Amino acid sequence: MSMLTIAMPKGRIFEEAAALLQEAGYQLPPELDESRKLIIEVPEENMRFFLAKPMDVATYVEHGVADVGIAGKDVLLEEERDVYELLDLKISPCYLAVAGLPNTSLNEVAPKIATKYPNVASTYFRGKGEQVEIIKLNGSIELAPLIGLSDRIVDIVSTGQTLKENGLVEYETIVGITSRLIVNPVSYRMKNADISKLVTRLTDTIAETAVQ
Amino acid sequence: MENNDGLGDKMSKLLMFEKPVGMRDTLPHIYETRRKLKEAAEQEMRSWGYRFIETPALEYHETVGDASAILDRQLFKLLDQQGNTLVLRPDMTAPIARVAASKLLKERIPLRLAYSASVYRAQQREGGRAAEFEQIGVELIGDNTISADAEVIALLVSVMKKSGLENFQISLGHIRFIDELFRQILGTEERSEQLRRFLYEKNYVGYREHITSLPLSSIDKQRLLQFLNLSGGIDCLDEAIKLVEGSAGSEALNELKTVYDRLKEYNVDQYVTFDLPLVSHMSYYTGLVFEVYADGVGAPVGNGGRYDNLLGKFGQPAGATGFGLRVDFLLEALEQLEEEEGVHCILFSNERRVEAIEEAQKRRANGEYVLLQDVAGVKDVDTFTQTSKNVTFFVGKSSNGGKV
């Protein structure tokens, strides 16, 4: 039986995701995040893990080079990949929000929105019947309204601390975000036994955590 | 004349090696492997009594483009001289339905047709996906029996095996079961469609959340949640029957069960599992649906099902079922590429040209692949003959001076 390949997101979500897998009884090597290796095999579990940029996890899973992945709902909304979204892992909760400088309104002629999530932002504003221009940025989104690039930003908010530090306020909440277990459609069938086991164990762990 | 020497113009000029996104070249050894795979598959379809047909690459957007199961944004569109919108055919099922409705259905019913052709689907995003690929498949038109559904799946298994694949699996679902279950619990088509869309998008988390938000009894919620788990062996049909009331839903389950029994008779049931939440299209299919998965390929290698409403769009209502396989994905699943057919290389010099031609013709008549090459045209003989099976030289003066 071939190994189950799991794509893990680097950074913020990683630790919580790894802890969840360990709670679910999977023996992950402790050095997973410190190791400079890109791919780590865990023969005892017949699994291998690799670390990817959070935004790329769904891409690896869609192409089938990873059977399973852990990805934020923000990534799934933005990327619209053809993968199964099987479980809400309920970790790394945050939300997507519209923010900007206090007491400002949208430019009436050509309102500009800076974001790392052009797809989500454009769908959201179109849904409200507002025609906006989306400007794609790759990081430090808070800078955009401060320096005058855009009227608003659409970005992920977890504590609101970053916004506050930069003197920005939230105008609207778009959608709540947690991390999800995603699965490649072919792996879902061809490696069904391993994946069902993973889903069952994770479901139990999530339920226990919720009770506590 | 315009001056085209500006830097900007040079920068935007396409380089000679570029091709449009998703378009691929097929080099000789891949071509050979693909040819053999297609021949084996086509032969199998013919031996089941299916007749091959070809249709044009361009069709009207209004007719075939509209009737196709492929989303509008995936169509390549262009205009003809009269201003009509044309599409590059995105699949073969709709063109075949057009031909069947306009001509062939007057012949012999049921109709068994097969195809092997390139289809075109524009890619929205990045590369990594082909925009032109070959599809090979069958359509069985005008036969509403379960035997027809079973035959198509049995043939699919047979074609997969003849193509050299062993490690594959077919997931089977039934669109009418889903419709009936959702209609019983949710009441309206609108609500059913909302829920069906979660299945189509493979968003099980969204499906569960949506159910929790609905004003339903906890028993009904439970029924909808349990439905998600209905996959695996034939046992899941017993679980499924508990979820629906009345005849329509259980009729669909009976069809699934009957098909499975028939597939046992064909001795191919080991390739089939059930997956009742399978929704491969929002509206196209009307009964049994299935997808085929092969180890090592990230997307389904093929799919199919019953589509009883399509022929009606072309004015000749008739039931139909069929499948289509993606040749590029089958090749990916094969892993090993065929060895190229060995070529016998004959190198000649001008003095012995006639001798060499005769030798080549003799060998070709025996079915050998023979390459004839003037040695004066080769820079490095060793490199040139490297891939040849055998090399014969007709070089230098022969006893009779090159004349026979």
CATH of the domain at B389: 3.40.50.12590
- Give the whole-angstrom CA distance, residue B134 versus residue B324: 10
How far is residue B108's CA from residue B255's CA, in Å, rounded to a whole number? 26
B259 reaches A (C-beta below 8 A): no
Domain that holds residue A115: 94-176
**B203 to chain A: nearest residue by CA?**
A85
Residue B8's pLDDT band (cuts 50, 70, 90): low
Q: Give the mutation candidate from B172, B202, B230 for the A interface (greatest A CB count, under 10 A).
A: B202
Tell whether A86 and A56 lie within a shared domain: yes
Query: CA of A200: which chain B residue's CA is closest?
Result: B229
Interface of A with B (CB under 8 A): 2, 62-65, 82-88, 180, 184-186, 189-190, 192
CATH of the domain at A161: 3.40.190.10
Q: Given an 8 Å threshold on Cβ–Cβ distance, is A180 in contact with B205?
A: yes
The closest CB to that of B206, out of A63, A85, A189, belongs to A85
* Residue B396, min C-alpha distance to chain A (Å): 57
In total, chain B counts a number of residues equal to 404
Q: Above 80 in pLDDT, residue B57?
A: yes
| Per-residue model confidence (pLDDT) at position B402 | 42
Identify the pLDDT of residue B127: 62
Backbone φ and ψ of B198, nearest 5°: -60, -40
Alpha carbons B278 and B285: distance in angstroms, whole number? 11
Mutate to test the interface with A, among B171, B203, B205 (most CBs of A within 10 A): B205
B400 has a pLDDT exceeding 60: no
Quickly state the pLDDT bin for B179 (edges 50, 70, 90): very high
Nearest-by-Cβ selection for B297 from A64, A82, A192: A64
| Same structural domain, B134 and B173 | no
pLDDT at B6 over 60: no
Q: pLDDT of B285-294, one tens digit each? A: 999 999 999 9
> Tens digits of per-residue pLDDT, B75-100?
999 999 999 999 999 999 999 999 99
- In the 8-state DSSP scheme, what is residue B275? E
Same domain, B123 and B205: no
DSSP string, A110-173: S-EEEES-HHHHHHHHHHTT---EEEE-SS-TTHHHHHTS-SEEEEEESSSHHHHHTT-EEEEE
Contacts of B202 in chain A (CB under 8 A): 82-85, 185
Give me the residue from B169, B202, B294 closest to A84, CB to CB. B202
In this predicted structure, the answer to whether residue B164 has a pLDDT above a threshold of 70 is: yes
If asked whether residues A120 and A47 sit together in one domain, one would say no
Question: How many angstroms separate the CA atoms of B279 and B298, rounded?
Answer: 18
Q: At B5, is the pLDDT very low, low, confident or very high (cuts 50, 70, 90)?
A: low
Contact between chains at B293 and A186 (C-beta distance less than 8 A): yes
Residue A39 sits in the same domain as residue A15 = yes
Which chain A residue has the Cα nearest residue B300?
A: A186
Same domain membership, residue A111 and residue A87:
no
The distance of A201 to chain B (nearest Cα, Å) reads 15
% of chain A surpassing 90 pLDDT:
77
Q: What is the number of domains present in chain B?
A: 3
- Check whether residue B162 and residue B172 sit in a common domain: no
> Is position B151 within any domain?
yes
Interface contact flag, B202 A85, Cβ < 8 Å: yes
User: Which structure tokens are listed for B351?
Assistant: 């003095």
Same domain membership, residue A183 and residue A161: no
Distance CA A91, CA A110 (A): 37
Do B163 and B267 share a domain, yes or no? no
Q: What kind and span of H or E run contains B272?
A: strand B272-275
Q: Which domain holds residue B320?
A: 19-167+295-340
Contact B346, B358 (CB under 8 A): no
Say if B8 falls within a structural domain. no
- Give residue B124's pLDDT: 65
Task: Give residue B16's pLDDT.
Answer: 80
Task: Determine the residue of chain B that is closest to A85 in CA distance.
Answer: B203
Structure tokens at A26: 């999977």
| A189 contacts in chain B (CB < 8 Å) | 169, 171, 273, 275, 293
pLDDT of residue B219: 93
Show the DSSP H helices in B122-246 as ranges: 146-162, 175-186, 189-200, 204-213, 218-227, 235-241
- Please tell me the distance from the alpha carbon of residue A107 to that of residue A90, in angstroms, as a whole number: 37
Question: Is there a domain that residue B10 lies in?
Answer: no
Claim to verify: residue B161 and residue B303 sit in the same structural domain: yes
Chain A residues with CB inside 8 Å of B300's CB? 185-186
CB contact under 8 A, A189 and B273: yes
More confident residue, B398 or B238: B238
Of B128, B294, B299, the CB nearest to A185: B299
Per-residue tokens: A173? 């909440």
Q: Minimal Cα–Cα distance from B203 to chain A, Å?
A: 5
Q: Are residues A129 and A170 in the same domain?
A: yes
Residues A153 and A184 in one domain: no
Q: How confident is the model at residue B125 (pLDDT cuts 50, 70, 90)?
A: low
Give me the residue label for tokens 């190994």. Answer: A3
Contact A189 B171 (CB under 8 A): yes
Q: Where are the beta strands (DSSP E) in B55-167?
A: 58-60, 77-79, 85-88, 111-120, 132-141
| Identity of the residue in A83, A189, A192 whose CB atom sits nearest the CB atom of B202 | A83
Query: In this model, does residue B399 exceed pLDDT 60?
Result: no
Do A76 and A98 lie in a common domain?
no
Count A/B contacts: CB-CB distance under 8 Å: 49
Quick check: is B11 in a domain?
A: no
Tell me, yes or no, whether B336 and B364 share the same domain.
no
B213 part of contact set with chain A, CB < 8 Å: no
Task: Kindly tell me the burial class for residue A27, based on how many C-beta atoms sit within 10 Å of its own C-beta (0-12, 13-18, 19 or more).
Answer: exposed
Please provide residue B288's backbone torsions phi and psi, each rounded to the nearest 5 degrees.
-60, 135
Residues B253 and B209 placed together within one structural domain of the fold: yes
Q: If you average pLDDT over residues A202-212, what whole number do you get?
A: 85
Q: Chain B: nearest CA to A180, how far in angstroms?
A: 8
Which range of A105-109, B64-68, B143-147 scores highest in mean pLDDT? It is B143-147
Look at A28 and B257; give whichever has higher pLDDT.
B257
In this prediction, residue B102 has a pLDDT band, given cuts at 50, 70 and 90, of: confident
Q: What's the pLDDT at B401?
A: 45
- A202-to-A4, A22, A93 alpha-carbon distances in Å: 15, 10, 17
B319-362 pLDDT per residue, tens: 999 999 999 999 999 877 766 678 999 999 999 999 999 999 99
Q: What is the CATH number of the domain that holds B83?
A: 3.30.930.10
* Co-location of A113 and A160 in the same domain: yes
**Torsion over CA of B148, B150, B155 and B161, rounded to 10 degrees?**
170
Judged by CB atoms closer than 8 Å, whether chains meet at A184 and B273 is answered as no
Q: Do A185 and B300 count as a contact with CB atoms less than 8 A apart?
A: yes
Q: Which of B204, B232, B300 sits opposite A85 (nearest CB)?
A: B204
Say yes or no: A76 and A9 in one domain: yes
CA distance B369 to chain A (A): 39
Q: Are residues B50 and B149 in the same domain?
A: yes
Do residues A16 and A86 both lie within one domain?
Answer: yes
Domain membership of residue B177 (yes or no) is yes
B271 in contact with A, Cβ within 8 Å? no
The answer on pLDDT for B398 being more than 70 is no
* B239 lies in the same domain as B195: yes
Q: Find the CB nearest B299 among A85, A86, A186.
A: A186
* Residue B404 confidence (pLDDT): 41
> Which amino acid type is present at position B361?
Q
Question: B245 Cβ partners below 8 Å, 6+ apart?
Answer: B184
Nearest chain B residue to A67, by CA: B298
Q: Is A107 helix (H, G, I), strand (E, B) or coil?
A: coil
B6 falls within a domain? no
Cβ contacts of B293 on chain A, cutoff 8 Å: 185-186, 189-190
Q: What is the average pLDDT score of chain B?
A: 90
Mutate: best of B172, B204, B329, B332, partner A, most A CBs <10 A: B204
CB contact under 8 A, A63 and B232: no
* CA–CA gap between residue B195 and residue B206 (Å, rounded): 9
CB-nearest partner of A190 from B169, B208, B275 = B169
What ipTM was assigned to the predicted interfaces of this complex? 0.88
DSSP-based three-state secondary structure for B351: helix
Same domain, A198 and A146: no
Instruction: Report whether pLDDT(B17) > 70.
Output: yes
Contact A155, A141 (CB under 8 A): yes
Specify the pLDDT at position B403.
Answer: 43
The model's pLDDT over A99-155, given as tens digits with 9 standing for 90+, comes to 999 999 888 888 999 999 999 999 999 999 989 999 999 999 999 999 999 999 999
What's the domain count of chain A?
A: 2
Residue A31 has pLDDT above 80, yes or no: no
- The pLDDT score that the predictor gives to residue B173 is 96
Chain A residue with minimum CA distance to B229: A196
Q: Measured between alpha carbons, how far is B395 from B375 in angstroms, rounded to an integer? A: 8
